[in-house]
Structure 1
Amino acid sequence: MSDNTLKAVEAAHAEVKAEIARTDTKTGLLLAFVGAVLAGVWTVAKDMPMTVPAYVVGGLGVAALVASAGLLLRSVRPNIKGRHGFPLWATMTGQEITTALAARDMAADVAGLSRLAVVKFTCLRRAVDLTFLGCVLLVVAGVLAGVGGAR
């Protein structure tokens, strides 16, 4: 492999790892937001008089947020049986690690990490969509509860 190609592969490897880290950070922030929204909904809704439509729409909103949290947790779930990284290295001796690193195919690592990044990004994107849907449904449920309570 030429020097330029090796540098390009190393740069791609670093870029993919950075993208995975950014995705995990965004996932953590969104998971905290979803948890805060769910806690806030519980705090407000437990003492509020509700109509049946408000319960139904609010329940759908909460279900969307719970599904979003599930996707977020799936996205950051550790892969202990991974092909690379510390889980594999924890089973090796020092010499085996040296041998494995000497034979390391950086381009294959970029391809594998890129697939992992796409899966994480897809889960995050779906979770963002579900979070948006859940929040909209909760606002509608709040309006329905307010309209029903004004009667």
Structure 2
Amino acid sequence: MNDHDSLQAATATVLAEIARTDAKAGTLLSTVSLPLAALVAVLPGRDLPGPVTGLVALGATGLIAAMLTVLAVVRPRLTTSTRGTFLHWANSTPEEITADLADRPNAAAHLGELSKIVTSKYRGLQLADDITTGALALLALALLGDVLL
């Protein structure tokens, strides 16, 4: 396998990872929205003890924070204009695009940019998962408190 083939294979791998993070983000967004929807359906008009209300408020805030974090993960990144990317090509002439595609070092720069994107997405998913776990723990404590109080 030559260097060009290796770069193409690596780029395909990183693009697949980006697609995986977006799929995981969709799953996490759905997962986070279910308990939040349950809270909206069950809580109005209920008189909860003060500590339980506080735990529910913290848990709901955590779920909303997790949802916002997931949305940041899937938000398109339009800030880079590295050669070899569609953002660069959007402001290029056809001749510049052709020259850019023929220049193999651009493929390595493009791979680097894609790798930064996928790393950022995974970090965001980890954070959203951690926030969701904490929020659900608070809601479980609130449920336990409501049963015991």
TM-score normalised to structure 1 length: 0.87
For residues 90-101 of structure 1, the aligned pairs below 5 Å read 90-101=90-101
Change (3 A) 1:106 1:88: closer
Structure 1 residue 88 corresponds to structure 2 residue 88: yes
Higher relative contact order (CA 8 A, sep 6+): 1
Where 2:79 maps in the other structure, the secondary structure is coil
**What is the aligned counterpart of 1:42 among 40, 43, 48?**
40
Letter of the 1:146 counterpart: V
Provide the rounded CA distance (Å) in 1 between the counterparts of 2:86 and 2:109.
17
Q: CA deviation at 1:72?
A: 0.8
Q: Partner of 2:113 in structure 1?
A: 112
Q: Partner of 2:136 in structure 1?
A: 135
Q: CA deviation at 1:93?
A: 3.0
Provide the rounded CA distance (Å) in 2 between the counterparts of 1:33 and 1:56.
22
Q: Deviating runs (4+, > 6 A) in structure 1? A: none
For residues 1-150 of structure 1, the aligned pairs below 5 Å read 3-83=1-81, 85-104=85-104, 105-148=106-149
Q: CA deviation at 1:130?
A: 0.8
Q: CA deviation at 1:119?
A: 0.6
Letter of the 2:68 counterpart: G
TM-score normalised to structure 2 length: 0.88
Cα deviation per residue 1:74-130 (whole Å; 9 max; x = unaligned)?
111112233254443333332232222222521221211111111110000110111
Q: CA RMSD for the aligned pairs?
A: 1.7
Say whether the 8 Å CA contact 1:49–1:145 is kept in structure 2.
no
Provide the rounded CA distance (Å) in 2 between the counterparts of 1:65 and 1:122.
17
Where 2:2 maps in the other structure, the secondary structure is helix
Provide the rounded CA distance (Å) in 1 between the counterparts of 2:123 and 2:142.
28
Letter of the 2:146 counterpart: A
Say whether the 8 Å CA contact 1:58–1:137 is kept in structure 2.
yes
Say whether the 8 Å CA contact 1:34–1:131 is kept in structure 2.
yes
Q: How many residues align?
A: 146
Q: What residue ranges of structure 2 are gaps of 5+ in the alignment?
A: none
